[in-house]
Structures are given as C-alpha cells and as structure tokens.
Amino acid sequence: MGRKQSSAFITTRKGFCYLTVKVGRSNFNIKRIRNYTLEPQEKRDMRRLYPDYLFDWKKINQQLAEKRVVCRAYRSRRQAPRSTERSSDSFFIMSYDPMTRTIYASDAGNSLALLDAVLHIERSRKQ
C-alpha cells in the first residue's frame, strides 16, 4: 500500500496563526504566518522546502480568513487590570486581638508583614 501524502493546514495558538503539518500523531508548525497572508515567494519556498507535503493554497487561504477573526479576538481581549502594588510588597492585617496583643497578618512568617501590621494599627489609633 502506498503512503498517503500529508497536507498542510492552519492552526492557531495564543493569537498567532501557523502553517502546520501532521507527522504521525503530532502536529508541527513549519511557519508562523504574519498579517494573515502568504506571499507568492513564501508559497514557493514552502513547496521547495517541504516536497513531501501537499499545500492546497485555496484551502489554506480560506482557513486563514476563518482564523483571522479568532486570532484578532484573542489578542484584543481586555486584560484584567493589574494592581499598582505587588502582592508580595503589600501586607494586610487579618485581625488584631488587643487582649492577647496578637496580630494576624497575611504573611506572618515575614517580619516586614508584622511591622506593617503594627504601623497600620498605630495609624488607625491616631485617627
């Protein structure tokens, strides 16, 4: 039995389009596609570099048009707003028990957390 010639297709990952071929059970990206188009010279190069694969450019261009929407939506999605302070630099008091003089901080193993908690208590007493 003759071996079936593999064909190339378009895949997307993290907002980028790739020209991909299947080898066995694995997919391998052979080219990252920029601006959702392939120039004629790039097509010639792909045919020359990978003669064992079938490149159906009409199907590939149709897949690129479909994936363009997906890639643009992924890259343009809004990121969650980041806090101005890093969580490792800011410490929060969970509670303070004046009877036992116990301070519960978010990071009790860190002496800076305890210092921050004490300073916060002192500021709140003065106000």
DSSP secondary structure letters along 25-44: TEEEEEEEESTT---HHHHH
* Per-residue pLDDT tens over the stretch 56-95: 999 998 998 888 887 777 777 766 555 544 444 554 555 6
Verify that 72 and 103 share a domain, yes or no: no
Q: Is 119 inside any structural domain?
A: yes
* Per-residue pLDDT tens over the stretch 21-32: 888 888 899 999
Q: Is 87 inside any structural domain?
A: no
8-state DSSP, 1: -
Q: What is the pLDDT of residue 85?
A: 47
Q: What is the pLDDT of residue 75?
A: 73
Question: How many domains does the chain divide into?
Answer: 2
Range of the domain at 98: 94-125
The secondary element (H helix, E strand) that includes residue 74 is helix 57-76
Verify that 69 and 105 share a domain, yes or no: no
Verify that 59 and 105 share a domain, yes or no: no
Verify that 98 and 74 share a domain, yes or no: no
Residues 6+ apart with CB under 8 A from 79: none
